[in-house]
């Protein structure tokens, strides 16, 4: 199991290094959020989608089958991504790799923080983390994969991947 966690964590850390953007604003948030919403609606996924810049929520959508519980999970995962400056999935995997439970060893209120997959930091090249993009409603690996898939495709289409993006 530790080998599986280590392999998954290495992939997630690579994604975190690769998905650094040159820019991202409210127009990008609306376009990316709408892209995720359209794909999720077409697949009938019961998720909520949220994008924040700083502390401001600049995009939110709830699809059929999602609930207020999904909003709560999204908020908790977003706090982890902002606090650690990396994906909520990567944080949780990092704790599991060393045999620790985030809720116990993270020393943060588990009612406010969740190190489960689904929220990815919006990182600007030369600036750092400026916000988050996330979903909640699927198993955590699927939540994470959905966000990464659409963030990667959106950044590539718009030509906004940063100059330091890559797997150095």
- Tens digits of per-residue pLDDT, 122-152? 999 999 999 999 999 999 999 999 999 999 9
| Structure token pair of residue 1 | 């199991």
Helix (H) or strand (E) holding 41: helix 26-42
Angle between helices 140-158 and 2-18 (to 10 degrees): 20
Distance CA 28, CA 12 (A): 23
> Residues 16-37: pLDDT tens digits?
999 999 999 999 999 999 999 9
| Structure token pair of residue 67 | 């609930």
Distance CA 2, CA 98 (A): 9
* Sequence ranges of the domains in the chain: 2-158
Which 8-state DSSP code applies to residue 65? T
What's the whole-model pTM score?
0.94
Fold adopted by 2-158: Beta-Lactamase (3.30.450)
Distance CA 69, CA 127 (A): 33
């Amino acid at each position: 199991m530790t080998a599986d966690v280590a392999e998954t964590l290495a992939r997630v850390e690579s994604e975190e290094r690769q998905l650094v953007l040159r820019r991202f604003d409210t127009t990008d948030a609306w376009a990316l959020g709408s892209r995720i919403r359209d794909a999720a609606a077409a697949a009938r996924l019961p998720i909520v989608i949220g994008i924040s810049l700083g502390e401001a929520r600049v995009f939110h959508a709830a699809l059929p089958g999602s609930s207020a519980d999904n909003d709560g999970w999204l908020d908790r995962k977003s706090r982890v991504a902002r606090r650690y400056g990396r994906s909520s999935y990567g944080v949780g995997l990092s704790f599991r790799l060393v045999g620790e439970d985030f809720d116990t060893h993270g020393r943060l209120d588990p009612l406010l923080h969740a190190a489960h997959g689904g929220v990815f930091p919006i990182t600007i090249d030369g600036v750092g983390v400026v916000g988050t993009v996330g979903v909640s409603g699927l198993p955590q690996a699927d939540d994470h994969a959905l966000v990464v898939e659409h963030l990667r495709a959106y950044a590539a289409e718009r030509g906004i991947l940063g100059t330091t993006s890559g797997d150095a």
